[in-house]
């Protein structure tokens, strides 16, 4: 194999190289989707249907990618998405990712299901200050997680709301994947969890158990009452749900389909974004994840209403290939590509990235 095949120059190269670093089970978990993986594919294909209409002769000094969000300043709008069980990719796990995010000034959202304790990861740097939360069946368990996050210095809670049950992960099933002990969710260890009820023969465990303990809008309102941290709800695809969330008083919305890992054939996130942006206007910031693989994707997302994007699979592929250095390189590549895209589209600041920069091509 020659040098060109070894040296990654874009996210796709890291994804290709990761396939040779991970065993079949870890690869299935970290990079796979639900069922036939159609939504996962649509997330990517939807970006490819969007064309950029660049503006020219708009140079000048003072350009930057700086972002003001929820009262804080960020160097750029490329965030690290909450991705669980990162020790599947590399022994350093989330700690390696946090160090890389700090080096690249990228805000990192730590997964509730991280394979390291939140306190240990938070100590790695100031860019890891958002904590992703799954509402627990027992409210006292949720409060315990929130208090730990507050004490560790996390400044924002990102509440994932789109996975009351797991999707049908056929790729993981075919690989016979089982979570190894070293990659288990450390933040959930020891928390109370209601035992599944005894169901009569033929009863549905989905409706007889999981939906009975699934979060509701009332739980989001309750969560707001027990913490002063800003709450972003992650997993919204419908404009009516976005309006509900804003009316309850959330601080932000993450337009997400869980990376295509829950409901297969759900709408691609970039396709859902414009209607949500139209429904909520400028009332709250909008984040987007799913399918972001190029700096041009970041430009397109911001043009269609996103405030920032989050990247997950590219990060764990970088981690699998080269640990902390791999994650750092992935984030640097995306930021460099984004700056190039801005410059070539005639944008010197994020405020210049407007909807007239893009058009959706016919299918």
Residue 223: inside a domain, yes or no?
Answer: yes
Q: Is 198 known to be catalytic?
A: no
The CA distance from 194 to 196, in Å, is 6
Number of domains within the chain: 1
What pLDDT score does 197 carry? 65
> Which pLDDT does position 209 carry in this prediction?
79
Q: Identify the domain containing residue 141 by its residue range.
A: 3-55+72-182+207-349
Residue 360, pLDDT score: 93
Instruction: Output DSSP code: residue 206.
Output: I
Is residue 194, in this structure, part of any structural domain at all?
no
Catalytic-role residue among 85, 92, 209, 258? 258
72/85 Cα distance (integer angstroms): 28
* 361: in domain: no
CA distances from 176 to 25, 35, 182, 213, 358 (A): 7, 15, 17, 28, 43
Six-digit token string for 67: 């972002």
Q: Is residue 18 part of a domain?
A: yes
Average pLDDT by stretches of 10, the chain with 363 residues: 69 98 97 98 98 96 96 98 98 98 98 98 96 96 98 98 95 97 96 71 81 92 98 98 98 98 98 98 97 98 98 98 98 98 98 97 79
| Helix pair angle (269-280, 295-303), 10° resolution | 30
Q: In this predicted structure, what is the pLDDT of residue 1?
A: 36
Residue 114 lies in a domain: yes
Nearest Cα to Cα of residue 220 among 259, 188, 246, 191: 246
In a domain, 196, yes or no: no
Residues in CB range of 331: below 8 A, 6 or more apart: 78, 80, 100, 101, 104, 106, 311, 315, 318
97 located within any domain: yes
Q: What is the DSSP letter of 298?
A: H
Task: Give residue 5's pLDDT.
Answer: 56
- Residue 218: predicted pLDDT: 97
Here the CATH number for the domain that contains residue 159 is 3.20.20.70
**Residue 325: enclosing H or E segment and its boundaries?**
helix 313-345
Q: Residue 290: which of 239, 254, 328, 329 has the closest Cα? A: 254
Task: Give domain status of residue 190, yes or no.
Answer: no
Strand ranges in the chain using DSSP code E only, listed in sequence order:
50-52, 67-69, 72-74, 78-80, 109-110, 130-133, 156-160, 231-236, 252-255, 286-289, 308-311, 358-360
């Amino acid at each position: 194999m020659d040098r060109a095949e070894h040296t990654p120059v874009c996210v796709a190269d890291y994804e290709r190289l990761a396939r040779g670093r991970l065993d079949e089970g870890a690869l299935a978990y970290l990079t796979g989707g639900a069922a036939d993986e159609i939504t996962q594919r649509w997330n990517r294909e939807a970006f490819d249907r969007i064309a950029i209409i660049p503006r020219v002769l708009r140079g000048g000094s003072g350009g930057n990618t700086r972002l003001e969000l929820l009262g804080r300043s960020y160097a750029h709008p490329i965030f690290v998405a909450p991705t669980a069980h990162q020790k599947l990719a590399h022994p350093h796990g989330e700690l390696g990712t946090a160090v890389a995010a700090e080096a690249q000034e990228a805000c990192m959202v730590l997964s509730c299901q991280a394979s390291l304790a939140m306190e240990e990861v938070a100590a790695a740097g100031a860019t890891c200050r958002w904590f992703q939360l799954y509402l627990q069946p027992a409210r006292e368990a949720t409060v315990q997680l929130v208090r730990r996050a507050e004490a560790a210095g996390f400044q924002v809670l990102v509440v994932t709301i789109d996975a009351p049950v797991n999707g049908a992960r056929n790729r993981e099933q075919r690989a016979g994947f089982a979570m190894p002990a070293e990659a288990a969710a450390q933040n959930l260890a020891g928390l109370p969890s209601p035992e599944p009820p005894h169901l009569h023969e033929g009863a549905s465990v989905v409706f007889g158990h999981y939906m009975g303990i699934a979060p509701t809008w009332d739980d989001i309102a309750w969560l707001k009452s027990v913490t002063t941290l800003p709450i972003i709800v992650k997993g919204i695809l419908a404009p009516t749900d976005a309006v509900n969330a804003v009316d309850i008083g959330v601080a932000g919305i993450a337009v997400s389909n869980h990376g295509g890992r829950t409901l297969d054939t759900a709408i691609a996130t970039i396709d859902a974004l414009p209607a949500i942006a139209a429904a909520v206007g400028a009332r709250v910031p909008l984040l987007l994840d799913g399918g972001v693989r190029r700096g041009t994707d970041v430009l397109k997302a911001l043009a269609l209403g996103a405030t920032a994007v989050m990247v997950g699979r590219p990060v764990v592929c970088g981690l699998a290939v080269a640990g902390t250095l791999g994650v750092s390189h992935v984030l640097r590549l995306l930021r460099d590509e984004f700056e190039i895209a801005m410059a070539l589209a005639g944008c010197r600041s994020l405020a210049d990235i407007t909807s007239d920069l893009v058009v959706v091509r016919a299918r």
